[in-house]
Amino acid sequence: MKIPSVDQVFRDARRSLLRFPLAILDALIGTSAALVLMDHEGPPTPTFLFQVLFAAILGFPLLAGLAFTAEKKKWGSSASLGSQLAGVLLVSIYALSVPPQLNGAPLFHVIQLVLLTVGMVLFAFVGPYVLNNSISGFWHYSKILLMRLIVAYLYGVVLWAGLAVALAALDNLFGVDIPMKRYGELWAFIQGVFTPWFFLAGVPEDLESIDSLTDYPKSLKMFSQYILFPLVLTYFVILYAYIGKILFAWDWPQGWVSKLILGFIATGFVWVMLLDPIRERAENQWIKTTSRWLFLLSIPLVVMLFLAVWRRVSEYGITEGRYLAMALGVWLCIVVPYFIFSKKKNILVIPATLCLASFLVSFGPWSVFAVSEQSQIARLKGLLERNKILVNGAVQSNHDSLSKADTRQISSVLSYLSDFHGFGGIQPWFAESLKRDSQASSPIYRDPSAVASLMGLVYTRVWQNPGGGIIILNADRDHPRQIGGYDRMLRAQRLFKDAVLGAQGGDVRYHMAPGMFVLVFAAKRQGGAFDSLRIDFQPVVEQLVKNYGSAITDKVPPEEMTVSAEDAHLKVKINLWQIRIKKQGEENTPIAYEGDILFMVDKGKGPE
């Protein structure tokens, strides 16, 4: 293989810049914004650079895709430039929706960016071949883009690794101070500038010639036939065995099975697309037969997908994950019949419809974000109205004891809204601002525990696992703990199974007794004798489980997480900060305690 000269490398780079000026400029601007953000030290501050970065991330695949499309369809330089400038305007308008401070902002902004980026990348693949009858050309074009993308990324990884070692050598051998963040900035620069530029340099200039390609890599057939196909069969056996179990037990499918169904169908679709160029060859008739059966056997799985997702929706409402699972189910209801009944079976339909779907679910009142937020707000409204906390559209502080189930569900919705959308949708229910700094422009809302306290509730972070799991109870660290009456303290002790202190000597000893409910604590009195106490955690643990149930709970009142014992010569109090309990059915077994041990020893002599 001929190694290109330095002059050739620079000529290729210059040719790529002239061919894709706006895409490369976009990469430079986005990388510059990322580097400035990474270099920033101090508290997070609002900045337009987040908007620039998000726009640049979307802009690169869009501008590259428009350039590819213009070349393939021979639009001419004016039309090509005009379409790309329209793309710049489009991502600039999108950037206005990005908050200037992302730290602590709702996650839906990031999820929306991911969905739109997927759509833009798919557009770069399908754009040049929309309304084009060359299925073989599309396959080879996609293969070239994908392979070039992988190669560019790997080159970037190797380049970064080499330069990172060079920086480490300067730091360790010559004493040059290299802050750790420089390695991250180097990664951002290489993957933000070098990798996109190198990728574009490898895209053929004559896209028309791709349509006449007929070669097919033998390694790709081996990968599809001996790696992907066994995976498809494995998924198939597991899923149809599970369908048999459901029919036999007459029970609803579990929500997790939807992930396996989507994994099976995705793997099957990739297998179909990889083998598409050779499926018509006489020796590969098995591919056509197997592909048809793959789509036919997907129909019961799509039905099970809807049932599994609908069960979760009926219990807990719509979230982004459930919405997207249902959207993919609807997409499968379109694509699967097409490949069963269509004679043409154009594989372009798969990425093209996915591209369209990713844009459709990202904006508007039907979007994944709007529907999910409104579903959870409606769920929260029903819970609050049922418990007389929301009356005539206004929150009233709760004075009654709510059931553990309702408390967990309300806390769950507040946690979801805090993470994904903020509390803007429920702000009209409250007289005071739910934003942390009360500024209208701030995307930062109060903690869900603070919002729950406005309702008169104790916030509980819930794991949806009523039959088992881990209970984590955290004391409220905003309240002081009582330490009077004690003169010594062991700070931040972790008490777990077989925990021992002072086995090799010392004035204080303790160990956990079997069962994790009793701590045997001993302290040396004047004269050398040890006095010991057994501190029983069981009453406190049982009461906490009764009060807070199967959950992760913050801000438990400190007095509820205090254990003490004393006798004539020794008294001990343990201010617990955290308790971890394993719940299995009706059995609750402590795993670990964390807290401060306060004690006081009688100075008198021990027994003779």
User: Mind listing the pLDDT tens digit for each residue in 440-455?
Assistant: 455 578 888 889 888 9
Residue 18 Cα distances to 6, 12, 23, 199, angstroms: 19, 10, 10, 15
pLDDT in the model for residue 608: 41
Which ranges of 225-319 would DSSP assign to H, the alpha helix? 229-249, 257-274, 285-316
- Residue 74: partners with Cβ closer than 8 Å, 6 or more residues away: none
**Each residue's pLDDT tens digit, 111-147:** 999 999 999 999 999 999 998 878 899 999 999 999 9
The pLDDT value given to residue 42: 66
Query: CB-based contacts of 239: which residues, under 8 Å, 6+ apart?
Result: 257, 260, 261, 264, 301, 304
Q: What is the mean pLDDT of residues 340-351?
A: 92
Dihedral angle sign, alpha carbons of residues 444, 447, 451, 454: negative
| Position 465 confidence tier, pLDDT thresholds 50, 70, 90 | very low
- pLDDT at 478 > cutoff 60: yes
Please state which of the ranges 187-191, 462-466, 513-517, 521-525 shows the lowest mean pLDDT.
462-466
Residue 153 has pLDDT above 70, yes or no: yes
Please list, in sequence order, all residues whose beta carbon lies within 8 angstroms of the beta carbon of residue 69, skipping any fewer than 6 positions away.
Answer: 75, 83, 127, 128, 130
For the ranges 113-117, 170-174, 503-507, 526-530, the lowest mean pLDDT is seen at: 503-507
Paired with 600 in beta bridges are 571
pLDDT at 359: 97
Distance, in Å, from the CA atom of 190 to the CA atom of 30, rounded to the nearest integer, reads 12
Mean pLDDT, the chain, rounded, equals: 88
Q: Is the model's pLDDT at 264 over the cut of 80?
A: yes
Mean pLDDT, range 406-433, rounded to an integer: 91
- pLDDT-based confidence at 548, cuts 50/70/90? confident
Contacts with 582 (C-beta within 8 Å, 6 or more apart), sequence order:
470, 471, 588, 589, 590, 591
Q: Model confidence at 177, in pLDDT bands (50, 70, 90)?
A: confident
Residue 252 has pLDDT above 80, yes or no: no
Q: Which helix (H) or strand (E) holds 599?
A: strand 587-601
pLDDT of amino acid 606? 47
Average pLDDT of the residues in 288-303 = 92
pLDDT of residue 526 exceeding 80, the answer is no
Q: What percent of the chain has pLDDT over 90?
A: 52
| Residues 389, 355 contacting (CB under 8 angstroms) | no
Q: Which residue has the higher pLDDT, 171 or 32?
A: 32
Q: In the prediction, which pLDDT does 271 show?
A: 92
- Three-state secondary-structure class, residue 542: helix
Eight-class DSSP state of 446: P
Higher pLDDT, 208 or 55: 55
CA-based nearest residue to 545, from 484, 489, 587, 598: 587
DSSP state of 487: -
Worst-scoring range by mean pLDDT, 241-245, 518-522, 524-528?
524-528
**Considering only 13-17, 130-134, 264-268, 368-372, which range has the smallest mean pLDDT?**
130-134
Nearest residue to 276 (alpha-carbon basis) of 263, 297, 296, 290: 290
Query: Largest Cα–Cα distance of the chain, in whole Å?
Result: 105
Q: Does the pLDDT of residue 219 top 70, yes or no?
A: yes
Q: Can you tell me whether residue 253 is helix, strand or coil? A: coil
| 414 and 388 Cβ atoms separated by less than 8 Å | no
pLDDT grade for 6, boundaries at 50, 70 and 90: low
Q: What is the Cα–Cα distance from 457 to 389, expressed in whole angstroms?
A: 10
For 103-162, the DSSP string reads: TT--THHHHHHHHHHHHHHHHHHHGGGTT---HHHHHHHHHHHHHHHHHHHHHHHHHHHH
Cβ-Cβ contacts under 8 Å for 37 (sequence gap 6 or more): 47, 49, 50, 53
Q: Quick one: pLDDT band at residue 504, thresholds 50, 70, 90? A: low
- Mean pLDDT for 389-413 is 85
State yes or no: pLDDT of 438 exceeds 60: no
Report the pLDDT value the prediction gives residue 557, as an integer from 0 to 100: 85
- Given a cut of 50, is residue 303 above it in pLDDT? yes
Predicted pLDDT at 169: 94
Q: Which of 475, 478, 567, 463 is nearest to 521 (CA)?
A: 567
**How far apart are the C-alpha atoms of 43 and 331, rounded to whole Å?**
44
